[in-house]
Amino acid sequence: MMTHSLHRSGTLESLKGDYVWFMYQAKGINDTNIKEKAEEFIAAAELVGSENWGDVKTGPIVSYPKEYIKQNIGNKSRLRGVFTSRKQVTEFLSIIKQKNLGISVVISGLLDEVLQACKEAGVTPHTINYSLGIWGKKELLPDDDILSITTMCGHHMISPNLVKKLVLDVKKGKITPEKAAWKLATFCPCGIFNQVRAEKLIEELKNKS
């Protein structure tokens, strides 16, 4: 479903550079000895170049040293992160399949791309949560450009007004698009904000009137 990575906004081209990975243990089923398994997930994600990842209980790598996050992993930790290409997703799934860790793995993104990655990695989709979009009083929403950025933190820890302020600061030359994107990423405690994509979006917004 929608959940916190499902309903990311943006153009298809932009979303082709945005995938979220999850390691997810289930309460009472496979939620013990998590630290050891989490470290395997982290190693795989790092190997294929996950640009951001984190544990919601500690924070993301854009805010904290990786070793600190690893030290704090416990059975209630939730490891998540982002990839910027389908190739990374395929490689990550291949490694995790081989490790046979017994923990649920979820990839969120464009379905055509994710399903192709599953095929390439030799894993079989079990369940899909389809996004059927936004309903209700949509006139309350910020414009699509802002939503493309704010929806990368699905818990909505990033306010539209903060994005607008940072874009303005970029236009004034007070901050670079890269630093603005990084700052926004620090507000997403899960580590699923894609600062690489955000930088590109901010660069585009800088050039808009």
Residue 123, interface with other proteins (CB under 8 A)?
Answer: yes
Q: Which is nearer to other proteins, 57 or 206 (CB)?
A: 57
Residues 6+ apart with CB under 8 A from 60: 52, 53, 54, 185, 186, 188, 189, 190, 191, 193
Based on the shown chain and the rule CB under 8 A, indicate whether residue 196 belongs to the binding site for other proteins: no
Tokens describing residue 170 = 């970029």
Residue 145 CB, nearest distance to other proteins (Å)?
14
Q: What is the smallest separation between the CB atom of 33 and other proteins, expressed in angstroms?
A: 13
Is residue 115 within the footprint of other proteins (CB under 8 A)?
yes
CA dist 62 and 188 (Å) reads: 9
Among 13, 32, 36, 124, binds other proteins (CB under 8 A): 124
Residues 4-23 that bind other proteins (CB under 8 A): 4-9, 12, 15, 22
Cβ closer to other proteins: 9 or 50? 9
From the CB of 50, what's the least distance to other proteins, in Å? Answer: 16
Within residues 36-55, the interface with other proteins by CB under 8 A covers none
Smallest distance from other proteins to CB 100, Å: 8
Q: Quick check: 57 binds other proteins (CB under 8 A)?
A: yes
Residue 35 touching other proteins (CB under 8 A): no
Rank residues 70 and 155 by Cβ distance to other proteins and give the closer one. Answer: 155
* Integer CA distances (angstroms), 84 to 5, 70, 112, 170, in order: 14, 23, 15, 23
Closest C-alpha to 72, from 84, 62, 58, 61:
58
The residue with tokens 């997403």 is: 188
C-alpha to C-alpha distance for 149 and 185, rounded to whole angstroms:
10
Burial of 169 (0-12, 13-18, 19+ CB in 10 A): middle
Among residues 85, 120, 145, 160, which is the contact residue for other proteins, using CB under 8 A?
A: 160
Residue 59 CB, shortest distance to other proteins, in Å, is: 9
Residues 6+ positions from 49 with CB-CB distance below 8 Å: 83, 84, 88
